[in-house]
Amino acid sequence: MLQSRDNTEFLSNFTSKLSTFLLTGIPDLDSAHAWISIPFCCLYATALFGNSMILFIIVTQHSLYEPMHYFLSMLSATDLGLTFSTMSTTLRTLWFHANEISLDFCIVQMFFLHGFTCTESGELVAMAFDRYVAICNPLRYTTILTNSRIIQMGFLVIMRILLLTVPLLLLLKPVSFCKRNTLSHSYCYHPDVIKLACSDTRANSICGLVDLILTTGVDIPCIVLSYILIIHSVLTIASSEEGHKAFSTCVSHIGAVAVFYIPMFSLSLPVLNPIIYSVKTKQIRKAILSLLFAK
């Protein structure tokens, strides 16, 4: 009886230990983490300042109350969410070597990280549709992209997050982790976590594949189709100057799509988006300059 109780306590402690993961900073450079944190702080500060400024300008400048800038404000808010999702654990790991994280906290972080990433993808599709309507059907632009329709699009994006992300993360709760519990990043990422499982993860893999198909598998073809139609419309414009002007309004969006879907740039997206849109969007650029250099 005593031996059975000891075994139960041992298994309980063992399970509890395996439910704690170790985040990874920069491998083999633990002693230099304080210095390495400086560029990370600069990137996070740039992302926070840039996206906050764009959001502030769009909210306060009534001349920017139009669909394209509504979508841009949503993109900036999402970038802020992505920044906060990873900033706390990354800086904690680099500054204090506090790299332990529980499964529950890991799941919460993954909800925001994957949720905001899914939101970003949906917003890029909405912005591609915005550019398609603006270039291919400009006379009906304001009647197609009404405020109520934009709200409906935002609601659909949120519903997709909940329907795809919540089941994926809830399936992690019954999973047993018995391998080396060190993650590859300074934040929790679902594919990284699921690699450490020792129980059956077929349901997790199927759910992850379905999520991938219903996000990237749907969003990329929609964006590509939008730009095929945009290019076709631009090429039929008689004046090359008008065609160039029309297509130049898409440059910022194309840059945001590129850095989002190219894996090596994905983590720098919250930093690059405000730079891209500040440089390439005339109204945003003028508003920022007037705010910074106003007398």
Contact, 131 vs 249, CB < 8 A? yes
Among candidate residues 109, 104, 39, 44, the one with its CA nearest the CA of residue 79: 44
Cβ 247 vs Cβ 276: under 8 Å: no
> What contacts 238, CB < 8 A, 6 or more positions away?
none
Q: Which CATH superfamily is domain 16-292 in?
A: Rhodopsin 7-helix transmembrane proteins (1.20.1070.10)
Residue listed under structure tokens 């404000």 = 73
For the segment 115-163, what is each residue's pLDDT rounded down to a tens digit? 999 999 999 999 999 999 998 888 899 899 999 999 999 999 999 999 9
pLDDT tens digit sequence for 30-81:
677 788 889 889 889 988 998 999 899 888 888 888 888 899 899 999 999 9
Cα→Cα distances 121→77, 247, 248, 279, Å = 13, 21, 22, 22
Contact between residue 211 and residue 164 where contact means Cβ atoms under 8 Å apart: yes
The dihedral region occupied by 97, where left means phi > 0, alpha psi between -120 and 50, and beta the remainder, is left
Taking alpha carbons only, the member of 37, 253, 274 closest to residue 127 is 253
Q: How high is the pLDDT of residue 265?
A: 46
| pLDDT value at residue 238 | 56
Residues 236-288 pLDDT 10s: 875 677 777 777 778 878 878 877 776 544 455 576 777 777 666 777 777 77
